[in-house]
Chain A
Amino acid sequence: MTDGTRRIVIEPVTRIEGHGKVVILLDEKNRVRQARLHVVEFRGFERFIQGRPYWEIPVIVQRLCGICPVSHHLASAKAMDRIVGGEKLTPTAEKVRRLMHYGQIFQSHALHFFHLASPDLLFGFDADPAVRNVIGVAAKHPDLAVQAIMMRKYGQEIIGATAGKKIHGTGAIPGGVNKNLSVAERDALLKDLDKNIEWSRGALKIAKELTLSNLEKLAPFGAFDSNHLSLVREDGALDLYDGKIRAIDSAGKKILDQVDSQEYAEHIAEEVRSWSYMKFPFIKSLGPAAGWYRVGPLARMNTCDSIDTPEAEAARREFKGVTSGKTNNITMAYHWARMVELVHAIEKIRDLLNDRDLQGTDLVVKGPRREEGVGLLEAPRGTLFHHYRVDRNDQVVMANLIVSTTNNNEAMNRAVQKVAQDSIDGKPEITEGLLNSIEVAIRAYDPCLSCATHALGQMALIVELYDSKNRLVATRTR
């Protein structure tokens, strides 16, 4: 604490994994000098899996996150494909994995939009939090709440059918999958497909209309120029399961393109900062100050040249039209971008369910054994990196995971700084408006703030206010 500086602490006391707090430093005129988001990321997981046999990893890593275990399951399986020399999967194995992944994207995006984004967009940032939530949506728009529940359920059923069960699945194994999709499982999923397609179209329409009708307010909210990074296909198209790394700057100029995932460490590094447990990834050639980037739906809309499903491609073109085809740096556009991907995911699910390869029986391939493997994919929240080394006894001796939330670390900090600067005006107070703005800005990135444990007895949000002498003068909880 420096002399003459006031400190405001906003601390969600949630779970061990994702304990986060916002610390705002004010100057002597009570204007924001610095704002930081601290996410207490639990780094012990990488050590936890060292010494384990490599084939256990795709199952164990699901315990990293209760909300997107499939992403960790598949990213680690992709890395282990390299270990067993089985990275060129059979058509059945790749399509079963893709179906699992699109099911995960679908349920995660639907959950985020209806649970977190739609209350903010439907009721406004300033609405009472007691109303501005999914329960409020259920009360005012019961049809939307039911759709959210049923879409999430549908995605979970896809995961259950492809991964073996809805949680802690075992479907992806090194070099392939351990089951195909039976005709009965396929037919059960096809039965509910059409209404999920309809609901997805509706969600996209809501996201687009709410964004466009409030663009004047949304465009500057938590907004800033940034680089963007994601995987893309060789032809530049969006590919959420596989591809090569592309990064562009805020004007759309390519920084990296067609970088093989196995070579990520030559281009991406992680900076450690003393005040945060969570690292700050950056593009090496630009350095930490200029090389940070955003990942996730907004980044993916910016990096890709096209989408290979028709309705999502039409939606992408509309999305790009808002910024006249240029890079979109509007933080609140994440929500619209997420719904473009929701439509893409259900289109992919439709195509895959009608593909007879899913009933194939050639499930696993193996080739020359390796001791190192990297698996990348586009998780719902952004690019996910899994990197392992395995010794000759088949034990994992090194693991490095860069999760989507870590990739967005700098961006979330910038967003918090921006809304704090816009909200605090000469009074050292945590107003309802400030709290709401910080919530909304962080939520745009859908970070993993409360991932791994959630035992009863903890409050969701605590707000503490310190005066210039570092004395606690006010506390609020939410």
Chain B
Amino acid sequence: MHKVKDRVLVIGYGNPGRLDDGLGPALAAALEAEGIPGITVETRYQLSIEDAAAVAEHDCVIFADAARTGPEPFALERIAPAGPASFSSHAVKPEAILALAEGSFGSTTKGYVLAVRGYSFDAFGESLSEKARKNLDSAIRFMREKLQDGGWNP
């Protein structure tokens, strides 16, 4: 008997105009180019509350973002729904998106954060630093392996 595959959503977010902050969108672009069947890939500058609707339509979601600190080349962490929301309307944490999806749509979507380590954030520019590029390549290989066959097997 075949296991029913999870509906998987990958949201890569960040600002490609701010150097390594573009790691999330770059990862999303790479996965989208691979066209893995059954995987939905979205790109955002920043997370916002409407992402809760898309999250609720999937069984699991991977939020891919740049990390200013933390392990190299990347870290994968399971996250749970949590508030509160942020000080301004301009950034919402992945945990808050899960909480909104749960509170608004009864979602039980499993959430993960893929934190790809970056180094350069303090200027405008549309390129990744060399070290961040290497970390991205590692993260892409990891995601390709875990998303093969259209499922999510962390």
Using a CB–CB cutoff of 8 Å, the interface residues on chain A facing chain B are: 12, 14-16, 18, 42, 44-45, 48, 60, 63-67, 69, 107, 111-112, 114-116, 129-136, 138-139, 142, 145-146, 148-150, 152-153, 156, 167, 439, 443, 446-458, 460-461, 478
Are the CB atoms of A111 and B87 closer together than 8 Å?
no
Measured in the bound complex, the distance between the Cα atoms of B67 and A67 in whole Å is 20
**6 A-B pairs whose Cβ atoms sit less than 8 Å apart in the complex:** A16-B121, A63-B45, A115-B85, A136-B84, A138-B100, A145-B103
Are the CB atoms of A150 and B118 closer together than 8 Å?
no
Are the CB atoms of B90 and A133 closer together than 8 Å?
no
Known: A138-B100, A167-B44, A457-B70; 8 extra A-B contacts, CB below 8 A, are: A66-B90, A67-B89, A130-B84, A145-B100, A149-B49, A451-B90, A452-B18, A455-B67
Interface of B is mostly: loop
Rounded to whole Å, the gap between the CB of A67 and the closest CB of chain B is 5
Rounded to whole Å, the gap between the CB of B64 and the closest CB of chain A is 10
Are the CB atoms of B68 and A458 closer together than 8 Å?
yes
| Most B CB within 10 A of own CB, among A12, A48, A452 | A452
Are the CB atoms of B49 and A455 closer together than 8 Å?
no
Measured in the bound complex, the distance between the Cα atoms of B96 and A111 in whole Å is 14
Determine the chain A residues whose CB is within 8 A of the CB of B66 once the complex forms: 455-456
Q: How many A-B residue pairs have CB under 8 A?
A: 161
Using a CB–CB cutoff of 8 Å, the interface residues on chain B facing chain A are: 13-18, 20-21, 43-46, 48-50, 52-53, 65-70, 83-91, 96, 99-100, 103-105, 113, 115, 118, 121-125
Are the CB atoms of A456 and B105 closer together than 8 Å?
no
Measured in the bound complex, the distance between the Cα atoms of B46 and A130 in whole Å is 22
Measured in the bound complex, the distance between the Cα atoms of B125 and A69 in whole Å is 17
Are the CB atoms of B50 and A156 closer together than 8 Å?
yes
Measured in the bound complex, the distance between the Cα atoms of B67 and A153 in whole Å is 27
Measured in the bound complex, the distance between the Cα atoms of B79 and A362 in whole Å is 50
Determine the chain B residues whose CB is within 8 A of the CB of A150 once the complex forms: 50, 53
Residue in A114, A146, A456, A461 whose beta carbon sits within 8 Å of that of B115 in the complex: A456
Measured in the bound complex, the distance between the Cα atoms of B84 and A132 in whole Å is 8
Are the CB atoms of B90 and A18 closer together than 8 Å?
yes
Are the CB atoms of A134 and B100 closer together than 8 Å?
yes
Are the CB atoms of B15 and A453 closer together than 8 Å?
yes
Residue in A63, A146, A457 whose beta carbon sits within 8 Å of that of B15 in the complex: A63
Rounded to whole Å, the gap between the CB of B32 and the closest CB of chain A is 12
Determine the chain B residues whose CB is within 8 A of the CB of A156 once the complex forms: 50
Residue in B96, B113, B124 whose beta carbon sits within 8 Å of that of A45 in the complex: B124
Are the CB atoms of A142 and B104 closer together than 8 Å?
yes
Measured in the bound complex, the distance between the Cα atoms of B83 and A130 in whole Å is 7
Determine the chain A residues whose CB is within 8 A of the CB of B100 once the complex forms: 134-135, 138, 145, 149
Measured in the bound complex, the distance between the Cα atoms of B103 and A451 in whole Å is 27
Closest chain B residue to A17 by CB distance? B18
Residue in A63, A65, A152, A449 whose beta carbon sits within 8 Å of that of B49 in the complex: A152
Rounded to whole Å, the gap between the CB of B46 and the closest CB of chain A is 4
